[in-house]
With several copies, the nearest count.
Chain A
Amino acid sequence: MAIDSGATAWILASTALVMIMTPGVGFFYGGLVRRKNFISMITLSFVAFALVSIQWVLFGYSLAFGSDVGGFIGNLQYLGLNNVGMDPGLYSTAIPGLLYMVFQLVFATVTMAIVTSGFAERIKFSAYLVFALVWTTIVYDPLAHWVWGGGWAAQFGALDFAGGTVVHISSGFAALALALVIGKRIGFGTYAMEPHNIPLTILGAALLWFGWFGFNAGSALGANGLAAQAFVTTNTAAAAGAMAWLLISWLHGKPSSLGFVSGAVAGLVAITPGAGYVTPMAALVIGAIGGAVCYGMLLFRIRKGLDESLDAWAIHGIGGLWGAMATGIFAVAAVNGASGILEGNVQQFIANATGAFAALIYAFVVTYVIAVIIDKTIGLRVSEEEEYVGLDISQHGERC
């Protein structure tokens, strides 16, 4: 098929939009930690971007999108971007093959950035580099293959429009596994550890919301009605999630700006898998429930004394899980041909739940194992002194 220049224009723009999400995650997280770890946090995100960018063009893309090997992983046909060119490819009928590749690249990078929540303020930078390379290769790449690269989940019929399972469930549960392996920050629960720069967190949230339009509406892979549909559902769910969290948290205290932006992200996560399958009114419901559920999970996490304090698990993990199931409930054929429970198709729900839980378990278990191995060999965590002076100085020799 020939290139559609309009589709190409939109996916080029979308790729740029998704790219800005990675620094967005960095600012979001960076504002939430203590001042002494701000530079560390944003550097983890930014390095995720660079490292995964290189891994992806070298072999990551091939592992995810190469011809299927046993339903589990792609082969090496696209090694070094071999055979990925300026013409449309297998996955991209209307846009250049290279563009599809780089659009997928920015998804892989932002996923890695989200994961950094799990070891915030205590990770050794050198261990992080190793971890990131291994994680993106043996957790992210297979998952992307399962769902989008022709692997078993795709064959099985699980719907994931823009990556609720691949991006959010995987990163959220990976963060959980990491937090368990690396342990709590010194003083967690007894020291005050307040967000040091809320304005920068809000900036991060603004960049995330902005970039998410590329993430979801770009996943239509065309500049068409479906892209518009996904754009609208995305914005609606974000707004609903934000207001839901704001209002519910008001019952327990003040309506905080952090509650608002957390809810927005929860809504965005929740709509991601269904953005191109549900109606805007369903998005309103999905987003609002997403905000409420993730807020509840955050409270639960705090009650359990779990130090996964940037809440990738509560927001991305649980929000992604809810989104996968919501897609199986609310999908309507009129939007994109797929029906969920509301149209009587329980099968879709089962497929989606199966895909989501399989990804959840895979991501959690494999991440746990990787983390333990790295911890036993080179050590995941900085020394107590380094943690005390902060990672900015101890890992990067900088101060902000």
Chain B
Amino acid sequence: MKMVKAIIKPERFEFVKKALEDKGFIGMTISEVKGRGEQKGITLQYRGGLMTVDLLPKIQLEIVVRDSDVDNLIVIITEAARTGKIGDGKIFILPVEKSIRIRTGEMEI
């Protein structure tokens, strides 16, 4: 199993959620985070000078899926989250060894 960890723009969250739903990916855990990409944030004109704004609000999704679903998921998220502008976000894939459903105790590996 893998954990697909996507960090996206808050404004695109509803689309991503919808797109995932449509393809049958229902389970997910989300949290509000702040982030900065390789561009070191956004540079604003600022009274002659410049100001760099970093650590902008993002939504982080964590979705645990079977290995075979990972590529599919990457495509869905990438398409739904993309605006083509800076700050569109990142997806990281982490290995997961086990998953347990608390209600039933059933375990998946």
Q: Do A and B come from one complex?
A: yes
Q: Which residues of A contact B (CB under 8 A)?
A: 35-36, 187, 191-193, 250, 254, 383, 385-386, 388-389, 393-394, 397
Task: Give CA–CA (A288, B22) in the complex, Å.
Answer: 42
Q: Which range holds the interface residue count of chain B?
A: 10 to 19
Question: Does B53 have its Cβ within 8 Å of any Cβ on chain A?
Answer: yes
- Contact of A389 with B11 in the complex, beta carbons under 8 Å: no
**Bound Cα distance from A7 to B2, whole angstroms:** 74
Between A and B, 11 residue pairs with Cβ closer than 8 Å are A36-B57, A187-B11, A191-B11, A191-B14, A192-B10, A192-B13, A192-B14, A385-B43, A388-B42, A388-B85, A397-B51
Residue from B11, B14, B56, B85 having most chain A Cβ neighbours under 10 A: B11
Name B45's contact: one of A35, A191, A383 (CB within 8 Å): A383
Q: How far is the CA of A397 from the CA of B53 in the complex (A)?
A: 9
Contact at A386–B11, with CB atoms within 8 Å?
Answer: no
Answer yes or no: B44 CB below 8 A from chain A CBs: yes
Assembled-state Cα–Cα distance A254/B44 (Å): 12
With an 8 A cutoff between CB atoms, is B12 at the interface?
yes
Q: Report A-chain residues with C-beta under 8 Å of the C-beta of B57.
A: 35-36
| Nearest CB on A from B90, distance (A) | 17
> Which B residues between 1 and 46 are near A, CB-CB below 8 angstroms?
10-14, 42-46
Q: A383-B44, A385-B43, A389-B44 are in contact. List 9 more A-B contacts (CB 8 A).
A: A36-B57, A385-B44, A388-B42, A388-B56, A389-B42, A389-B53, A389-B56, A394-B44, A394-B53
Cα-based distance from A191 to B13 in the complex (angstroms): 9
Instruction: Give the 4 A-B residue pairs with the shortest CB-CB distance, closest first.
Output: A191-B11, A192-B14, A389-B53, A385-B42
**Complex: A351 Cα to B72 Cα, angstroms:** 67
Which residues of A are found within 8 Å of B10, using beta-carbon distances? Answer: 192
B11 / chain A contacts, CB cutoff of 8 Å: 187, 191-193
A386→B87 contact, CB < 8 A: no
Find out whether the CB atom of B14 lies under 8 angstroms from the CB atom of A386. Answer: no
Residues of B within 8 A of A193 (CB): 11
Cβ-closest chain A residue relative to B47: A250
**Distance between A249 CB and nearest chain B CB, rounded to angstroms:** 12
Contacts of B51 in A (CB 8 A): 397
List residues of chain A with CB within 8 A of the CB of B44.
383, 385-386, 389, 394
CA gap between A383 and B44 in the complex, in Å: 9
**Given the complex of chains A and B, what is the CA–CA distance between A389 and B51 in angstroms?**
12
Nearest residue, chain A, Cβ from B85: A388
Chain B residues with CB below 8 A from A187, complex form: 11
Flag if A191 contacts B12 (CB, 8 Å).
yes
Kindly supply a per-residue 1/0 record for chain B positions 46-77, scoring 1 wherever the CB is within 8 Å of any chain A CB and 0 otherwise: 11000101001100000000000000000000
**Minimum Cβ distance to chain A for residue B66 (Å):** 29
CB neighbours of B46 from chain A (8 A) = 254
Cα distance, A187 to B83, chains bound together (Å): 10
B-side contacts of A383, CB under 8 Å: 44-45
How many Å lie between the Cα of A388 and that of B85 in the bound state?
10
For the complex, give the distance between the alpha carbons of A388 and B84 in Å: 14
B53 — which chain A residues lie within 8 A by C-beta? 389, 393-394
When the two chains form their complex, are residues A388 and B87 in contact, meaning their CB atoms are under 8 A apart?
A: yes
Q: Which one of A193, A386, A388, A397 has the highest number of Cβ atoms from chain B below 10 Å of its Cβ? A: A388
Residues of A contacting B14 in the complex (Cβ-Cβ under 8 angstroms): 191-192
Measured in the bound complex, the distance between the Cα atoms of B45 and A51 in whole Å is 26
| Chain A: minimal CB distance from B81 (Å) | 12
Query: Distance (Å) between the CB of B109 and the closest chain A CB?
Result: 30
Residue numbers in B under 8 Å from A36 (CB-CB): 57
Q: In the docked arrangement, what's the CA distance between A388 and B87, Å?
A: 10
Closest to A187 in B: B11
Rounded to whole angstroms, the CA-CA distance of A250 and B51 in the bound complex is 14
Among residues of A, the one whose C-beta sits closest to the C-beta of B51 is A397
B45's nearest neighbour on chain A, judged by CB, is A383
Which residues does chain A contribute within 8 Å of B56, judged by CB atoms? Answer: 388-389
